[in-house]
Structure 1
Amino acid sequence: MPKYLVQASYTPEGMKGLLAEGGSGRRAAVQQAVASCGGTLESMYFAYGETDLYCIVDFPDPLAMATVAMTVRASGALQSTATPLLAVEDIDEAAKKAVAFRPPGN
């Protein structure tokens, strides 16, 4: 299954919800949202700084990730990015493929 790194920052309203529910409550909510689209939550960490939350999630396809991302962002509780993650073996396979590319000026 495709794997993603999700980074999120809470809005002030979202942070109020986190303070009310605690981390365990938010983890349960994330697990439920991810599972509702056929995915699994591999790991979840809170941080402080510009980014408040880091998650590694697996989804059956990119559309499932998009569905969850759009729904969560539409809530206004947080801003997020989802970065596709590639396994070492995926990079090995990609490195073997030929690409028809000519740099500018050549």
Structure 2
Amino acid sequence: MPRYLTRFSYTPETWAMMIAQPEDRRKAAAACIESVRGTLHRFWDSFGEHDGINLGEAPENVSMAAVALAIGGGALSSIETTALLTVEETFEALARAQSVGYRAPGATA
């Protein structure tokens, strides 16, 4: 199943609510991903550019996009999801790239 790394930040209002009433957001994140037949593997809170990071799986990109759209519209000020490749998938992509007929702009044929 495809894997995804999601980085997100909470709105100031969400931080205020969580300060007033702390809540473990792993449960909510897991429920969202499970609703599309996926799995939440890890969830970390962080500080710096992002307030949290999670690692999960979903059946395909459309399912994970649906999760990001659903949760991105309220309590979050930003959300970024990156599809991840295994090392084996990277080698497969490298092999396939050899047969892609790309010509850079300005290059002669």
TM-score (norm: length of structure 2)? 0.88
Unaligned runs of 5+ in 1: none
CA deviation digits over 1:64-103, x for unaligned, max 9? 101111111122x111010111110001101111110112
Equivalence for 2:22: 21
Q: Which has the larger radius of gyration?
A: 2
Q: Which runs of 4+ in 1 moved over 4 A?
A: none
Q: Higher helix proportion, which one?
A: 1
TM-score (norm: length of structure 1)? 0.90
Q: Residues 72-87 of structure 1 correspond to what in structure 2 (within 5 A)?
A: 72-75=71-74, 77-78=75-76, 79-87=78-86
1:15, distance to aligned residue in structure 2 (A): 1.4
Equivalence for 1:4: 4
User: RMSD between aligned alpha carbons?
Assistant: 1.1
**Partner Cα separation in structure 1 for residue 63 and residue 22 of structure 2:** 26
2:104 is the counterpart of 1:103: yes
1:16, distance to aligned residue in structure 2 (A): 2.4
**Any conservation in 2 of the 1:18–1:26 contact (CA below 8 Å)?**
no
Unaligned runs of 5+ in 2: none
Q: How many residues align?
A: 103
> Once the two structures are aligned, what percentage of the paired residues are identical?
36
